[in-house]
Amino acid sequence: MCPVIEANRKTELCRNWQNGTCLYGGKCAFAHGQSELTVQTLTEMEKAGRIPNAARFRSNPCMASTWVATGSCPYQVWRVVD
């Protein structure tokens, strides 16, 4: 199986499962419920290609024009658990 898919396995909820339409069942790479969610370290996220540089991730305030202008961050797709 693809290493990127394996590294990201069960790190996000399955949208199809949430809608009751997931056809993959136990073979689905996405979590079917909160109990199946796994947490990745920043280093694991970097290796999986989810963030460009673990050492710099969230190391500075987001001053990107998108945050200042809209209040949303384009990098908000990653779930980080403290």
Residue-level pLDDT, tens digit, the chain, 82 residues: 666 666 678 888 999 999 999 999 989 989 999 888 887 777 777 787 777 777 776 666 666 556 666 766 666 554 444 4
SS3 content of the chain, % helix, strand, coil (to 5): 35, 0, 65
CA distance 19 to 45: 27
Q: What is the pLDDT of residue 25?
A: 92
The C-alpha torsion from 12 through 17 and 22 to 28, rounded to 10°, is: 30
Amino acid of residue 76: Q
Q: What is the pTM of this model?
A: 0.50
Q: Is 41 inside any structural domain? A: yes
pLDDT at 79: 47
Residue 76 lies inside a defined structural domain of this protein: no
Whether residue 45 lies inside any domain: the answer is yes
pLDDT the model gives residue 82: 42
Does 7 reside within a domain? yes
- Asked if the structure places residue 78 within a domain, the reply is no
Range of the domain at 15: 3-70
Residue 81 placed within a domain: no
Quote the number of domains for the chain.
1
